[in-house]
Amino acid sequence: MSKPHVLIAISTYEGHAHCREEWIKNTVALAGSEHDIIVLWNGGGNPSKYFPKNWKIRHISERADELPIHHLGRKHRWLRQYFLKRKKYTHFFMLESDNFPPPKTIEKFLEYDKPVISAVYFINAETSFTAHIPNPIDDPARRKRLSERYGAEHLGKSMYIVRRDYIPSVWGIQGEEGRLWKIHDLLPQRGLVKVLGAGVGSVLIRREVFDNIDFRTYDEKSDTRQFTDFNFYWDCNRQGIPVYVDTDTIIDHIHEEDEISGKDKWFSLSERKFTRLTQIGDKDA
């Protein structure tokens, strides 16, 4: 059996500048001396000044009449074609430019010898629901807390609540049904797990998977738009190609808003600056 030859395919732009320096260091370690890297850039300026000289850099222009979702799909299709034209490559590792896989991730995934295998990373997901806000007239302390949280004018009424959660970028599969995982789906399942899909931020794909599958953004039977990751995994499932995640490979996914907000900052244990634990606990009760 011939030695695997992996192409690391990266679609990026100026918007990931917030983590680019550290990400390049991590990606150099990921590639080592064994794997090649192609970067497809759609930002302005000269991208070669950002990346190592031994990385292959190509530029793709945006179109004025093109939605961002379709531009991303066109970039993914370009990378697929670049890979397929170069017969020496046996595997395609798609990497997003804000994902930080451990250095030996590709070697570990190659040892699994699966058609499609992904790492786990977390995404910001928006969830919404309708909740009835109690109006506990006989409990003044609780009523005060609820008033502070929701506003006194909303007590005793229903509210439409929208919140953002960090969830694994994984669509689980159970029988003939699938859904996005929550954290409680991820934790009990260790190692290699068969799933419907898992994002395309850090995924290894064998060459033959691309024989009949492309990266598309439209549903083939309607005008419904959908990102390439879900459509890719949907097509794999329909064609009987098994998809796996390695739940022991959980990687950093650096969101710019996390750095701006400072919510991931560590605090000093020598100074008690976090003084509202009781109030926060009350709000969550």
Tens of pLDDT, residues 58-105:
998 888 887 877 888 889 999 999 999 999 999 999 999 999 999 999
DSSP-assigned letters across all residues of 39-65: EEE-SSS-GGGTS-TTSEEEE----TT
CA dihedral 250, 253, 259, 265 (to 10 degrees): 0
Helices and strands (H, E) in the chain, number of each type: 8, 14
What pTM was estimated for this model as a whole? Answer: 0.80
DSSP-assigned letters across all residues of 233-269: HHHHHHTT--EEEEEEEE-EE--HHHHHHTTT----S
What's 225's DSSP letter? Answer: B
Residues of the chain with pLDDT under 70: 1, 219-225, 256-268, 271-285
Average pLDDT of the chain, as a whole number: 85
Give the pair of three-digit tokens for residue 254.
């650096």
In this prediction, residue 264 carries a pLDDT of: 62
Tens of pLDDT, residues 205-228:
999 999 999 888 776 555 666 788
